[in-house]
Amino acid sequence: MVLKPTRREAVALLAAAAFCPRVAAAAGVRGLDAIARAKGMRFGSAVSANPRTGSFDNPAYAALLRADCGLLVAENEMKWQHVAPAPGRLNFAAFDRMLDWSDRNGMAMRGHNLVWQRRKWMPAWLEAHDFGGRPATEAARILTGHVEGVTRRYGTRVQSYDVVNEAVTPDTGALEETALSQAMGGTEATIDLAFRTARAAAPHAELVYNDYMSWEPGNAKHRAGVLRLLEGFRRRDVPVDALGLQSHLVTSGPDGSQGLLASQEEWRRFLDAVTAMGYRLLITELDVRDNGLPVEAGARDRGVADYARAYLDVTLSYPRLRDVVAWGMTDRFSWIEDFEPRPDKAPRRPCPYDDQFRAKPLRDAIAAALAAAPERAA
Ligand code: 9MR
């Protein structure tokens, strides 16, 4: 479905057109993906299938994607809740359409996610399911059916999956339980089976464990829990290729970077430990929550950009990281506004483009960080 743009969107479309690659190249501005490719990396964004949000059905948004992205991820449309809204009812229409669009536009599409290890985000029917007299067998049947169903449907068109999302409890570092994992007799058994099934059904695909342990102070237990999980994968020979760093960054203090020096050290130690185990890295959901920064948009945007630049400089210095994916391109559609509005009610400014689709300092910071990153070997 292609909707006629509203007046506001038409204005935004014109602004976005300024970022069409040819015009941009003539102006000496290159798309973020082009800058990334020159270093052996890729840049991309989350996209949705709802034309009232960050969808390619919205022409202004599609223009941004075409200008800057070589890689997309469905913000919601591959989630288990979405593709299996009721027992025995499958709904792949939205993701099919997204994959067709990304194929037509020469962009890769990541798969997000096969198992979201949180009760709230599993299908409600599965949380309420009666697993019967042999619960582990029934749980394994449902899990393998889902993982095989999705990965076989898309075959080699999807080359990278967040197989398991957010299995570690941030406050304790322990593993999350769901009805499925309880029926299976444990979270590790559940996660391991998800990865093994994905490897067998999609041997071509990069298999990722994705989580939001971040570099800010207060994340130490979360990071430790993720490290334990990754160590366990290696011990049990579970086929996991990479750690997805969601990178929902949060500024703090009036200049945005309170407590940052100490956390930079800890972040490096964390990434050193992850890569020493042989894992690759990806930035899967980059955006910035502008906490503590002044309300004035210019100062706020600079604070956000500086903070992201510092994060990207450290994180992109690891050559095992090749993909950087933003969790949406414009402030207009960001999830953060609903999730945690600013106390002063000023609309959040978490994305590379503002709500009128104009590039912000965050876009420049991403471009500069990609340009400054060490070149990856072919
Ligand atoms: O941005 C997504 C939002 O639209 C959904 O309502 C929500 C629940 O499905 O998920 C959000 O995306 C999350 C992602 O899937 C996993 N990491 C955290 C993201 C932000 O909450």
Domain tally, the chain: 1
pLDDT score at 5: 44
CA-212 nearest atom, ligand 1? 17
In a domain, 1, yes or no: no
Residue ranges making up the domain that contains 322 = 7-372
Name the amino acid, one letter, at 40.
Answer: G
Whether 246 lines ligand 1, by a CB cut-off of 6 Å, is yes
For 304-342, the pLDDT digits (tens) are: 999 999 999 999 999 999 999 999 999 999 999 999 999
> Encoding tokens for residue 229?
């999980």
In a domain, 356, yes or no: yes
Give the pLDDT band of residue 8 (cuts 50, 70, 90): very low
Whether 169 lines ligand 1, by a CB cut-off of 6 Å, is no
Pocket of ligand 1, candidates 75, 119, 213, 348: which has the most ligand atoms within 8 Å of its Cβ, to mutate?
75
Pocket of ligand 1, candidates 118, 282, 327, 330: which has the most ligand atoms within 8 Å of its Cβ, to mutate?
327
Give the pLDDT band of residue 29 (cuts 50, 70, 90): low
CA of 76 to the centre of ligand 1 (A): 7
Helices 187-201 and 135-154: crossing angle in degrees, nearest 10, is 30
In a domain, 245, yes or no: yes
Which one is predicted more confidently, 192 or 3?
192
For 107-161, the pLDDT digits (tens) are: 999 999 999 999 999 999 999 999 999 999 999 999 999 999 999 999 999 999 9
Whether 335 lines ligand 1, by a CB cut-off of 6 Å, is yes
Residue 16 has pLDDT above 50, yes or no: no
> Encoding tokens for residue 171?
């406050």
> Encoding tokens for residue 236?
């049990």
Segment 182-188 shows an average pLDDT of 98
pLDDT score at 220: 95
Cis link prior to 113 (omega < 30° from 0)?
A: yes
In a domain, 39, yes or no: yes
For 146-183, the pLDDT digits (tens) are: 999 999 999 999 999 999 999 999 999 999 999 999 99
Ligand 1, atom 21, residue with closest C-alpha? 335
Pocket of ligand 1, candidates 335, 340, 348: which has the most ligand atoms within 8 Å of its Cβ, to mutate?
335
Residue 23 has pLDDT above 60, yes or no: no
Residue 254 has pLDDT above 50, yes or no: yes
- Around 164, how many Cα atoms within 13 Å sit in the side-chain half-sphere? 34
Q: Are 316 and 370 in contact (CB under 8 A)?
A: yes
Which CATH number belongs to the domain containing residue 332 in this structure? 3.20.20.80
CA of 334 to the centre of ligand 1 (A): 10
In a domain, 378, yes or no: no
In a domain, 246, yes or no: yes
